[in-house]
Amino acid sequence: MATSQVETVSTAADKAKLGLAIALVLAALAGFYLLTRQGALVQWATLLVGLAAAAGVFLFSEHGRQLIAFSRDAVREVKKVVWPTRKEAIQITAYVFAFVLVMALFLWLTDKTLEWVFYDLILGWRK
C-alpha cells in the first residue's frame, strides 16, 4: 500500500511547542543540578517529570506526530520480515565462520609467499 508523502509547513504553534519542549528539557536538567541539597529522590523526580513533560509536548507537535507515524510504519515493516529458522541461522553462521577461516588462511599464505619472494629471492635477506 503506497502512501503519499506530504510536506507540511511548521506553524507558529508547532515551533512554540518545540521551543517549550526544549525549555522543559533544559529546566529539568537545571532542576536536577540545582536541587542537589534536596536529596537524590527530589533530583531524579524533577528530572524525570521534566523529561516526561518535554516528551509529551513534543509528541503533540507536528514533528512528534511524524515520529509516531514513522514508528508505526517501521513496526509494520518489521512484522513483514521473514526471519530465518534456528537451523537456517546456525547454517548461515557456520558458512560465515568457514569463509572467514578459509580467507584468513589464504591471506596468511599470500603474506608468507610475498615475504619469501621479496626478502629471500629478490633482496637476499635471510632471517
Best CA proximity match to 18, nearest among 60, 71, 52, 50: 60
Q: What is the pLDDT of residue 8?
A: 57
What b/e string do you get for 76-104 counting C-beta neighbours within 10 Å, with b at 16 or more? eeeeeeeeeeeeeeeeeeeeeeeeeeeee
Confidence of residue 11 (pLDDT cuts 50, 70, 90): confident
Q: What is the pLDDT of residues 66-107, one digit of tens each?
A: 999 999 999 999 999 999 999 999 999 999 999 999 999 999
pLDDT for 123 beyond 80: yes
The residue ranges of every structural domain in the chain are 12-80, 84-127
Average pLDDT rounded to a whole number, residues 34-53: 94
**Residues in contact with 47: Cβ distance below 8 Å, sequence separation at least 6, in sequence order:** 28, 29, 31, 32
